[in-house]
Structure 1
């Protein structure tokens, strides 16, 4: 596949600058999908996280808090394709460590699961989280830590 084709595919899936992280797992697509819907299984354990609400069916909402109140977001489950894709939209946000505290509002957090035969590729994207955001460095670093932990749990 040439670079132009890769860029076109990336543009169809989101901005080339959106924060993206991919890894492979030998777990089944179903096991991966079910873990992603259990937010406390992968989005906790690093920064005193508290998750309240649901994330099982379309329209479910949950609140995420971390860092002693420095990070708050409310998210709504907007896309759910069993064993293939999960997407949440950030509907409210209060990031105490940046000037524009609601900069995540309208962004989407998405996982895609692709079957590669003996492995599955998990691609995480925070659609809208780009280097133009003040929080990009800190947020990309935190997402990388969470994805490293998820990768470890799914190995």
Structure 2
């Protein structure tokens, strides 16, 4: 089925966006255990509720593409079912940065997050907030 996708447009450089994705995720998503600089680097997203998602960089093209493969997931949420806890495992976060000159588009796909997945509604809302709103706002504040 169709993966979760969302695009934003911002008036910042591709380099600025790439840095926000590889070095500053803790500033707009959640606490990350490490920044990522090269293929094979690993980092874990840690949430206050105990949720953790561990990622490995599988694609990294400076100022253009970042793909993070989720190799470990422990999704804890007030409405999480046992099936939901590991649903992010073997999914990929793909960020594509497209330079349009005066602005830059960022296309995000969570490959594997489809309507058939139990956590789809929760995660869809979460990504709309964190990527669609918080990330965009974070980037725009940097230029103000």
State the TM-score bracket (shorter-chain normalisation): 0.7 to 0.9
Deviations 1:34-89 (Å, cap 9, x if unpaired)?
11112212213xxxxx32134221111111121421x2111001100111001100
Matched position secondary structure for 1:129: coil
- Of 119, 126, 134, the residue aligned with 1:142 is 126
Superposed displacement of residue 103, structure 1: 1.1
Task: Please list, as runs of the form range in 1=range in 2, the aligned pairs for 1:50-69 lying within 5 A after superposition.
Answer: 50-69=31-50
Inter-partner Cα distance in structure 2 for 1:24 and 1:132 = 29
* Alignment RMSD (CA, Å): 1.3
Work out whether 1:95 is the aligned partner of 2:75: yes
- Of 46, 52, 58, the residue aligned with 1:78 is 58
Residue pair 1:57, 1:77 contacting (<8 A) in 2 also? yes
Deviation above 4 Å: which 4+ runs of structure 1?
Answer: none
Inter-partner Cα distance in structure 2 for 1:67 and 1:18 = 26
Matched position secondary structure for 1:154: helix
TM-score (norm 1): 0.81
- Of 114, 125, 129, the residue aligned with 1:130 is 114
Inter-partner Cα distance in structure 2 for 1:51 and 1:82 = 20
- In structure 2, the gaps of 5 or more residues are none
How many residues are paired up?
Answer: 134
Residue pair 1:51, 1:63 contacting (<8 A) in 2 also? yes
Inter-partner Cα distance in structure 2 for 1:87 and 1:126 = 10
Work out whether 1:117 is the aligned partner of 2:101: yes
The higher relative CO (CA closer than 8 Å, separation ≥ 6) is in 2
- Name 2:27's counterpart in structure 1: 41
Inter-partner Cα distance in structure 1 for 2:48 and 2:81 = 14
- In structure 1, the gaps of 5 or more residues are 1-14, 45-49
